[in-house]
Structures are given as structure tokens and as C-alpha cells.
Amino acid sequence: MHPAMKTFITEIEEIIKLEENESRLTEKVSERLKKIVMKQGIIPDIYKQPNPDKYTLYPVYIDPDNRFSIASAVWDVGQSTPIHDHGTWGVIGIIQGKEREIHYAIHPGQPPLKEFERNLQKGDVVVCCTSDQDLHEVHCASSEPCVGLHIYGGNIGEIERHIYDSETGKKTTVVTAWDKVPETT
């Protein structure tokens, strides 16, 4: 593991231990992520490999007490997520490529309503979701795979979340399990 990633994990552990306010917590996590997101080799190249069939979520680090997790999220060219929530806070930093993120509001019995969209590029760090604003879809917006370093408030590979039908808004409960990290050759 990259030394800067080890330091980052220690810093996140301290932030979570000391900060109860989610807004301040995500702000502090964002500040720390900005310091490492552009570091060469912050994650091994195997965590940047796309899956040709779907976007991929690799576990970079899972806190032993499931207080937070760090994921490498990879979208190949043309791939996207369904409209979904997380059930927790999240901070993302783009390591490679470009990402288009579309945020939605949901009202019972209606299709999701687009609120805003933003384009993120290498080096950008943002709070992607909070406990009270947590509905979006993500697209690879570049001619190379998009790779993001995602920090979530819990083990995102085990948290019950929801996907939403884009036409009806119907909510389906899912768990987005971790993808297996490719083996090195």
C-alpha cells in the first residue's frame, strides 16, 4: 500500500472518531483526499482495470469496524450506473478520466427529477452524497476509463442501498457487493 494511502487511512480514522457533524466530517475527508488524489501510484494499476460488462467497485480498504471504506470505482468508456442512493455519506476524487454525475430528487409515484449535473475530471474532489442528499447516476464522460477514489461512511459493499427506475421512480433494495480485484500476472 502506498505510504500516502496509509497516512490517509489513519487521518480518516481520527476524523471519524472525533467529528460527529456529517457536514464537517465530509469537508475534512475532502481536504485530506485532495492531498493524495493526484499522487502517482496512490492505488495499484490493478484497481484501475475496467470490467467490460459493468462498472466496477474494488475494495481498496475496509475499516475493521465498518465505519468507512475506500473504493476504487471504475467505469469503462460508455458505462454508467443506474440512478441510485448510498445510505451514507461519500466523498470522491477522480484519479483518471472524466465523470458526469447527475443528481436527482425523488417524489413518491413520480419519475426521478433531475436537479443538477456536474462534470468532474482528474484531480477533482467532491462530496458526492450525504445522508439527506443522496440520489444520483454516474457516467464515464471520457475516451478512457474513469477511475474514482470513493470514501464512504460504512462498508459500501455491504450497505443496503436502492436503485430507482428512471421512468417510474420505483425503488428496489440492493447491496452492491465488492468486485474481485484482478490478479496480477
Q: State percent of the chain over pLDDT 70.
A: 98
Do residues 158 and 85 make contact, with C-beta atoms less than 8 angstroms apart? no
**Contact by Cβ (8 Å): 138, 80:** yes
Q: Tell me the backbone φ, ψ of residue 7, rounded to 5 degrees.
A: -65, -45
* Domain boundary assignment for the chain: 3-175
CA 77-42-29 angle, to 5 degrees, is: 95
Does the pLDDT at position 18 exceed 70? Answer: yes
**What is the pTM for the complete model shown?**
0.92
Confidence of residue 182 (pLDDT cuts 50, 70, 90): confident
Q: Sort 39 into a burial class: Cβ within 10 Å, 0-12 / 13-18 / 19+.
A: middle
pLDDT of 29 reads 97
CB-based burial label for 175 (10 Å; 0-12, 13-18, 19+) = exposed
The architecture in CATH of the region 3-175 reads: Sandwich (2.60)
Q: Given pLDDT bands bounded at 50, 70 and 90, which one contains residue 109? A: confident
Give the pLDDT band (50/70/90) at residue 185: low
Residue 28 region by backbone torsions, left for phi larger than 0, else alpha for psi between -120 and 50, else beta:
alpha
Instruction: Report how far residue 116's alpha carbon sits from residue 21's, in angstroms, rounded to the nearest whole number.
Output: 25
